[in-house]
Amino acid sequence: MTLQLTANQVWQEIEANLFAVLGMVTPTGEARTVGIVYIVDDHKLYIGTDKAAWKAKHIARNPHVSVTVPIAKRIPFLPWIKIPAATITFSGMANVLEHRDVKADVLKKLYRGVVKDEEALAASCVIEVTPQEDFITYGVGVPLMQMRFPDKARGRVAV
């Protein structure tokens, strides 16, 4: 039996985290992934990057992406015991945006006051990812011990 989650529960988990793995395809059809830091606004993920970065170039050519958000699991008082992360995975459409096309409050949250230099800002862009179809989850919303049973730990919910 697949776990019954709501889209709201999944969005809460996505918003509570800030790291994900972004999957994309190169112009020659090769799969690539990259770790990213993101923020969420209006059920979209926003990623700051350099205009010259490969991820911006690949996404500009092919907007189909996948995102996996790993969610660390720990045993209280036994942090040295390795536990696999819970995950949220989805496919989406990505757009490479200039700063002028992004809301000011999104830019402020995204850059967290770290990037202030006008030259650095001019060399950067924002990737906007809109999730599509379903969130696929593992270990989200289940007790740690239930993660041992795939039929109890898996979930799927419409975006």
Residue-range domain boundaries for the chain: 7-158
Whether the full predicted model's pTM is greater than 0.75, yes or no, is yes
Average pLDDT for 124-151: 93
Q: What is the pLDDT of residue 135?
A: 98
Q: Which amino acid is at 84?
A: P
2 falls in which pLDDT band (50, 70, 90)?
low
Average pLDDT for 82-102: 95
Q: What is the pLDDT of residue 112?
A: 82
118 falls in which pLDDT band (50, 70, 90)?
confident
Cα separation, 48 vs 70, in Å, equals: 19
| Per-residue pLDDT tens over the stretch 101-112 | 999 999 999 988
The residue among 2 and 74 whose pLDDT is bigger is 74
Q: What is the pLDDT of residue 51?
A: 96
Average pLDDT for 31-57: 97
Q: What is the pLDDT of residue 20?
A: 99
Q: Which fold has domain 7-158?
A: Pnp Oxidase; Chain A (2.30.110)
Residues near 77 by Cβ (< 8 Å), separated by ≥ 6?
none
| Per-residue pLDDT tens over the stretch 5-34 | 999 999 999 999 999 999 999 999 999 999
Strand-strand pairing, 19-25 and 31-37: antiparallel
Decide if 146 contacts 153 (C-beta within 8 A): yes
